[in-house]
A and B are shown apart, each in its own frame.
Chain A
Amino acid sequence: MSVPQEAIESLLEQPGLFKRLNLKDWVWAAIVLAATAFVFVNYGKVMDAYEIGILALSAPGLIGLGWYWKAFQPYALAVAACSLLGIWLYGGDYGNAEQVFGLKFLFSSQSAVMWMSALFVLATVTYFAGLFANNGFTLKTGSAITWAALIMGFTGLMVRWYESYLIDPEFGHIPVSNLYEVFILFCLITGLLYLYYEGRYKNRTLGGFVLLVISAAVAFLLWYSFEKGADKILPLVPALKSYWMKIHVPANFVGYGAFALAAMTSVAYLLKAGGEKRNPQGFTATRLPPLEMLDDITYKAIALGFAFFTIATILGAMWAAEAWGGYWSWDPKETWALIVWLNYAAWLHLRFSKGWRGVPMAWWAIVGLFVTLFAFLGVNMFLSGLHSYGEL
């Protein structure tokens, strides 16, 4: 009896990671490595050991992210292209921000952020229009506009990073150092997380909900820059001059972004659940995604946010140990980070151990956003402490 072993072997064989990658993935990896090498060769001299470590780890991180989420590759390349174009247009002279057309109307950080703001609001409207009209093309347009907003926003941050060095080499710093900059970061991370889930679940109907929270952040951002001139690039205070800032802040905002996303999917959950009860043929009951899916996204977002928030808080403690002489001082910001953490820890325990699902958990996730919002914004506005960089 001859058994075609090859047939079975091929069936049994689990395609390894590298076999699942296509040419594009390898090109992506090559580009990231080349860019990393370029940065190291050109700027390695002015980086300290920790910064070189961060650079070395961000290369595999970016490659992995691009391999895991394919849509990230073209996105990152578009951001890189726009950023490089902006930097090239500057040609080493900050005065060009007002002179060169491409900077004044597109790629200077302030213009790019304005574009981001406008596009996010437009995308919110488009997503909702698509949802109301039940029109796939409109929803698709919403996604496209969101991608465009994300490209402009990230380009804005990148160019701002460069601008800070142009104004004065001593001022130069990564743009995650004040409330204005981290609000942009918040919009970007929330938007990216949403688009990831959109692609993963192949459903665009939640776009309007998530972008609503981004639009609110945009409104604050605009008020903050027009009313308070917060978009001005200022040098860092000595306490912030640390490599820790480069990892602590972004990790925190993955957490904040994911929590915001979870709250908005919970809003959709409540609408859908309420709609099903009142009128099963009604608008919210039929147009919104199934409850299981909403519940699943909420859980995934909170889990992701919780994991990153844990990392961020621990990184923050390590930084505090180096800057303030103690890893935990019960400073208001630290304490509120703990409160946020405890809140979501309780949420996750209820889900895992008690199997709670549905309406109460959705409400809790929404309340969680307000607790998070207070930790993120309220502490800086109402309480004083060591974390006073982001004062309004």
Chain B
Amino acid sequence: MKNSPTASTRLINFLGSMNLAISLLVVLAIASIIGTVLKQNQPYTDYQIKFGSFWFDLFQSLGLYDVYSAVWFLGILAFLVISIATCVGRNTPGILRELRHFRENVQEKSLRAMKHQFTLPVSMAATEAQTLAQRILASQGFKTRQKAAEDHMVVAGMKGGANHWGYWLTHLGIIVICLGGLMDSRLPLMIGEWQGALKPETRNMPASEVPSVSQLPTSSFSYRGSVDIPEGGSANVIFLPVRDGYFVQHLPFDVEVKDFRVEHYSTGMPKSFESDLVIRDKDLPKPMEATIAVNHPLIYKGVAIYQANFGDGGSRVNLRLHPFNNQYAAQDVEGNIFKDYKLTSSNQQYKLELTDFRLFNINDMEEPDGTTKKTNLGPSVSFKLRDATGQAMEYQNYMNPVSIKGQIYYISGVRSTPAEPFRYLHIPVDPKGGMERFMRFLSNMQDQELVKKSALETTRDSMQQAAVKSPDVENQVVESMVRLTTLFAAQGSDGVMQEITERFPEDKRESASEAFMKVLNASLRSIYQETLKQEGVTGEATDADLAFFDDSLLAIDKISAYGSPWFVQLTNFKHIEASGLQITRSPGKDVVYFGSVMLIIGVFLLFYVAHRRIWVWIKPLENDQSEIVLAGSTNRNLPEFEHYFKRLQETFRQAMVHEVKHVSSTGSD
């Protein structure tokens, strides 16, 4: 090194230093961890809630929500690539020398100083020894150079130069991979954003209305985005998610989803997702049809189309709204998923927001023996019911009745926020397979006349049996029956309990509630009898009828907390699915693969080929005698080389000593 290295030499020394390279490897590894611990590219509101505004802002300014696109992260990567390139550039002249030079001008002294060296006196002329040494080395796969000086001769051999190719292939391979990755990166978008020519859209709106500053032309070099296309629909754009927004990327063709299919195993687990696609492009004589599936994409014009996920594509559903209140009328609604509908047949305004339809619902169901089993509950519709104040409850209603522990129910899940689990309302199914009996029973409970009438009958019956005759008592009992029944029908058992709490001091409540429940139960029973009579059922109530009565009361008890004035029954549907397609154009892929192959070949050459050198230094002695010095070196796998060198020593000894003996014995002839 010169006395005063210039700034550029110092820079190159720094960039090409091993310490920097190793530090960068470690720094990159540590930086990569961040993105695995902090979930990337989530909605920004989630981060805000999680971290609070101070940390949210700090993390945002550090780009932690999309670490792998953050400038500082890309900077580390670029730094690493520059460091590798500098290393390769700095080491290449030395390696070329190493590969070209056989070092036949080596000094005897330095050979004798080597770790692997061996001196052997041989009884043969130096030229003869030289020829033989050359042949031995050549037979072992060494390339050789020879030198004849005045007082000595040298045979220098080497093999395994491919080891150095391993160095180039691995390091250049990494650079090639990074360049390929750069070709597919979003660098152009980042530059466009930085220049102000592009800006991601954050509002939820149809692609056609997105301003042009968020639109990307079909000529984009690389992209990777996704789009959901309903069956029968088509699209010529995809959405590229960027931080908390998106860009609209135009495709050079139209994709139509003709059909989307999910196939299931016998266990109900999904077996395959497939979409039948039609590609329309002015360059095609006629539309091209193709089927894609998970692991089987379609590649057209360098653009790959993948089956990524699926969802509802706006299924048509028929709903029957059964009112829980007999003042409302039943109504039918026909609508599409993702659309909103106004409901008016009540004294309040409601908005029905249809959110999802599912054809299959594989749930864990408890069997009669207590074990759980995955069961398909069939189609369901999910919706939100929003009242005039903007409050919404979320529901998931199953179309088909579900059998639970031998009883059959219509079930509906309800929750007020997506974070909660669903609570379920179980409405018992009547012998005709509908919910008519339940609705009639409920309606009868709210019918003052009917309640009064059956209360009177019940009271008279029981008073006759008890041989009591007192109009006062009778009126009192009937009145409480009616009041309690109305209370129960409107507010459930909570309403009754509240009444008790209000009217009785604490020490009397227990006996009061016992009495109340008796009265209420008698009333409800008689109303139920009346309901059965209206249905045309005669004779004694069966066990099934009694179980239905109990289940009905359990359900009615929960209606007040159910939050909806209707039970929404799914009566019919036309399933329209949407196929979620991931569409990418990645011209750098083949570059990356090429770099990967370089890397793999290089790794094996580096580890499993050793660059070995052998020198044979031959010193002529008198009487056709000579002395040879055998020395060797390697840059890998020293233990193996030790074995090898010992064997080589033996070969030299046998070849040269054996021959000498032979020569002398024949020479005496």
Q: Which residues of A contact B (CB under 8 A)?
A: 1-4, 7-8, 11-14, 168, 170-171, 234-235, 237-239, 241-242, 244, 292-293, 296, 303-304, 306-307, 310-311, 314, 317-318, 321-328, 330, 332, 335-336, 338-339, 342-343, 345-346, 349-350, 353-354, 379, 383-385
Contacts and interface: CB of A to CB of B under 8 A. Distances in A.
B217 to A, nearest CB: 21
Contacts of B306: 323-325
A353 B270 contact: no
B306 to A, nearest CB: 4
Given A170-B266, A323-B295, A346-B22, A384 B659 contact: no
Given A314-B599, A321-B589, A342-B25, A235 B265 contact: yes
B45 interface: no
A234 B584 contact: no
Nearest to A343: B29
B655 A11 contact: yes
Given A171-B265, A335-B32, A11 B25 contact: no
A328 B180 CA distance: 11
The 10 A-B residue pairs with the shortest CB-CB distance in the complex, in nearest-first order: A325-B582, A332-B36, A325-B306, A238-B294, A342-B29, A12-B139, A346-B25, A314-B596, A303-B607, A330-B68
Given A8-B659, A325-B297, 6 more contacts: A168-B266, A235-B269, A310-B599, A325-B308, A325-B582, A330-B40
A1 B667 contact: yes
B293 interface: yes
B39 interface: yes
B297 A170 contact: no
Given A314-B599, A330-B68, A343-B29, A307 B604 contact: yes
A325 to B, nearest CB: 4
Main secondary structure on A side of the interface with B: helix
B33 A339 contact: yes
Contacts of B267: 234-235
A310 B33 CA distance: 19
Nearest to A170: B265
Q: Contact residue range for chain B?
A: 35 or more
B29 A7 contact: no
Contact of B269 (A234, A323, A353): A234
B32 A241 contact: no
A345 B606 CA distance: 12
Contacts of B584: 325-326
B265 A345 contact: no
Nearest to B39: A384
Nearest to A382: B37
Interface in B179-229: 181, 224
Contact of B29 (A14, A235, A310, A339): A339
B61 to A, nearest CB: 20
B592 interface: yes
Contacts of A304: 607
Interface string B604-648: 100100000000000000000000000000000001000000000
B35 interface: yes
B271 A325 contact: no
B397 to A, nearest CB: 28
Contact of A349 (B25, B132, B294): B25
A216 B126 CA distance: 63
A239 B296 CA distance: 10
A155 B181 CA distance: 42
Contacts of B28: 342
B22 A170 contact: no
A293 B642 CA distance: 13
A246 to B, nearest CB: 13
9 contacts: A8-B659, A12-B136, A14-B141, A234-B269, A238-B272, A242-B295, A317-B592, A323-B306, A335-B33
Contacts of B135: 8, 12
A210 B266 CA distance: 42
Nearest to A345: B25
Contacts of A11: 651, 654-655, 658
A222 B659 CA distance: 66
A346 B25 CA distance: 6
Given A310-B599, A310-B603, A323 B294 contact: yes
A242 B25 CA distance: 33
A307 B267 CA distance: 40
A383 B34 CA distance: 12
Contacts of A324: 306, 308, 582
A174 to B, nearest CB: 15
Contacts of A303: 607
Given A171-B265, A238-B270, A311-B600, A14 B36 contact: no
B128 to A, nearest CB: 9
A241 B270 CA distance: 12
Given A235-B265, A322-B297, A7 B658 contact: yes
B79 interface: no
Nearest to A243: B295
B26 A342 contact: yes
Contacts of B599: 310, 314
Nearest to A336: B36
A237 B39 contact: no
A355 B600 CA distance: 23
A349 B584 CA distance: 36
B603 A307 contact: yes
B304 interface: yes
Contact of A2 (B25, B29, B666): B666
A171 B218 CA distance: 42
A146 to B, nearest CB: 24
Nearest to B265: A235
Contacts of B266: 168, 170
A64 B29 CA distance: 36
B586 A241 contact: no
Contacts of A384: 39
B48 interface: no
A318 B593 contact: yes
Interface string B398-442: 000000000000000000000000000000000000000000000
Contacts of B596: 314, 317
A338 B73 CA distance: 15
A387 to B, nearest CB: 11
